[in-house]
Each structure stands twice: as structure tokens, then as C-alpha cells.
Structure 1
Amino acid sequence: MGGLFFRARAPDALAAWYREHLDVGAGCGAQDDEGNGWSWHTGAGPMIFAPFAADSDYFAADKGFMLNFRASGLDALVARLAASGIDAERRDEWDSPETGRFARIHDPDENTIELWEPPAG
């Protein structure tokens, strides 16, 4: 995937929120050869691209998308987010040895963000 673009009420503030709390977005991770900080170089790993049925209850019905980020050390990340006042939802039925562990949070624009820790190995 080459990029993700979406509308926000306050784009600069929302971009700063993602950088601060999730280390996501422009300037995060390894920089490109020019070191311009515009791009975000992600770690290699699986990515799922999956349209959902319009009536799916997997995420909020009034939202057209849900973000999913791979996370290592999910428990530590959830604790760090909680210390910043960001509540994470966890459900036992979301986790399995085959698919990994999950938590969900919401950004300031109420977009759902699924945090996914893939299974070890």
C-alpha cells in the first residue's frame, strides 16, 4: 500500500496525535533517502485489504473505514495509551492463537483503530 488519505476536522492536530500516541505517520520510523520526513517507512509484515458488508457490526456503522495497526508489546502499548487518557477496549473473543491479540481505541475524530499483535512465530 502506498498511502492512506482521509478527511479530518483538524488535520495537523490529528496527525500529531497519531505520531505521539502510535508512532504513526510522516516522520515516524526510518526516513527515506532524502530524509524529508514526509513519508513513514513501516515494518514488513502482512496487510489485510478487506471490504466489509455495509451492514457489518465489526466497527461503527457511521464510519466508512477502520484502521488496523500491527503492534508489538500490545499490553505495554495499551498501558501507555491509558496513561495518556486513551481508553482501549479488549475482548477475549477477539484474541486467538491463530490470529493474535487485539485492542481497539478511537482517535480524536472517533475513527476506530484496531491494534493487532500478530501471533508469535
Structure 2
Amino acid sequence: MNMKSVTGIGGIFFKAQDPDKMNDWYKAHLGLDTSEYGVRFEWLEKSDPSKTGTTQWSTFSETTDYFQPSSKDFMINHRVEILDQIETYDFGKFVHILDLEGNKIELWEPTDAS
């Protein structure tokens, strides 16, 4: 298998007691243009500046099971080139792994439209 490396951060997700209030706080105090899904930061691809990349910042309910089997309160989504069995959606391909300390890591290969 040809080893590929992470190409960027696709998202930062964390649990909050009240995600809506947390989004409102970040909007009011740090100027983030949040919605119910958080905020999306756009940037240009280093390898091809004609392509736009994104990083998603989102809050989740503290009772979400989306981060399982990790028991941590956060998850980082890494942008990568994926070579193995994956799930495919309109916005990209995903696979999950756990790191040494049990943190869930979401690997994402975006579509060109993402």
C-alpha cells in the first residue's frame, strides 16, 4: 500500500452542554458566523490554489454518540487521500480510526465540489 499523508484539517468537533448557546457565544464574542452546524472556514488548496478547501468547526450535544467508541469530548476530522474500504457520500469519502489514547479520528477525502 502506498502511504498517503494528511492534507489538512477538515473539521474540529466538540461536545457542549448547549450547542446552540455555545454557537451564539462564539458568534457574539469571537465573531464566528455560526449556524446550527457551526461555521465553515474556506481556504485555498496549497497544491492547487484554484481549488477551495474547507474546515468545519461544529458543536455537538454532550449526549451525542457520533464520537463513539471514543469517550472523548472532541473529534478532529483530517483531510486525506484514502486507499481502503470507505463510506461514500455526495460531499466526500469517510473512514474512522482510533488513536493510541482512544480518540476517534475521522478521515475525510472531499469531493471536488466540497
Q: TM-score by structure 1 length?
A: 0.46
More strand by share: 2
TM-score normalised to structure 2 length: 0.49
